[in-house]
Homo-oligomer: A and B are copies of this chain.
């Protein structure tokens, strides 16, 4: 594997662009190939078997670009598919977003009571719960599926009364059902769409709750892994190639908000998986 090879980043759609943004910020000299499986999104409502199958196809496609590292920037794919993908793509490090998110939550929490909001598939699979308890045996995890947040983020309804009332719908049962001393003190945004709604979430959760999103910690994990394997690009220019399996115009329009820079439709290459 060469230092000059690109880093592959995979997500079911545009949500993983929040992770890509953090990666580009921490690793500005790297080449990135981002693949969004927009023809088959969302993964969060699909069965584990289907998600694993799709994740393996995406991993094979990115391996075909000669990547030196593969990031599963999709919580659902990380939660159910990381092992299968790591076994398939043996010659490069494969990094998901669940383990870094769980690690950040365990460091952030004082009380050990950690809330996780994610897609149905991620919550049902229990990967966050397992990853947190493995690191902190005293931890108590309250995990809640919050699928409407995905639709709100894609629709750009990230602020205002609708976002806040949906945040209340999901979070009040978690935070208000506990006496002050036993409320969660940390909230993991266990879906790459959710950082878009962080303001509304913060208003409902309250200022004393620490909000953890996996993007920053995953980017740090990728950097440390590349350093450890002597694969960090030091003199490169940095570049970004965007691939999608469908609807380049929608990817560009919605993805631009997630990446926080405009994406032109012709920048997005369509591929088949």
Measured between beta carbons, the chain B residues less than 8 angstroms from A147 are: 151, 154-155
Q: Is A166 an interface position by the 8 A CB rule? A: yes
Q: Is A107 an interface position by the 8 A CB rule? A: no
Q: Is A46 an interface position by the 8 A CB rule? A: yes
Q: Is A47 an interface position by the 8 A CB rule? A: yes
State which of A57-65, A80-88, A157-165, A181-189 sits at the interface with chain B: A157-165
Q: Is A39 an interface position by the 8 A CB rule? A: yes
Q: Is A26 an interface position by the 8 A CB rule? A: no
Copies of this chain, complex-wide, total 2
Flag if A247 contacts B39 (CB, 8 Å): no
Question: With contacts A39-B46, A46-B39 known, is A161 near B165, CB below 8 A?
Answer: yes
Q: Residues 143-161 of chain A: 1 if any B CB is under 8 Å from the residue's CB, otherwise 0?
A: 0000110111011010001
Q: Is A169 an interface position by the 8 A CB rule? A: yes
Residue in B148, B150, B246 whose CB lies within 8 Å of A47: B246
Residue in B47, B162, B247 whose CB lies within 8 Å of A166: B162
In the bound complex, what is the Cα–Cα distance between A246 and B157 (angstroms)? 29
Measured between beta carbons, the chain B residues less than 8 angstroms from A45 are: 38, 41, 154, 247, 250
In the bound complex, what is the Cα–Cα distance between A152 and B120 (angstroms)? 14
Measured between beta carbons, the chain B residues less than 8 angstroms from A38 are: 45-46
Q: Is A40 an interface position by the 8 A CB rule? A: yes
Flag if B247 contacts A47 (CB, 8 Å): yes
Q: Is A2 an interface position by the 8 A CB rule? A: no
Residue in B40, B154, B155 whose CB lies within 8 Å of A39: B40
Q: Is A239 an interface position by the 8 A CB rule? A: no
In the bound complex, what is the Cα–Cα distance between A246 and B52 (angstroms)? 13
What are 15 pairs between A and B in contact, CB < 8 Å? A39-B40, A39-B46, A41-B45, A45-B247, A46-B246, A46-B247, A47-B246, A50-B246, A50-B247, A147-B154, A147-B155, A148-B151, A148-B152, A162-B162, A162-B166
A residues apposed to B, CB below 8 Å = 38-41, 45-47, 50, 120, 147-148, 150-152, 154-155, 157, 161-162, 165-166, 169, 246-247, 250
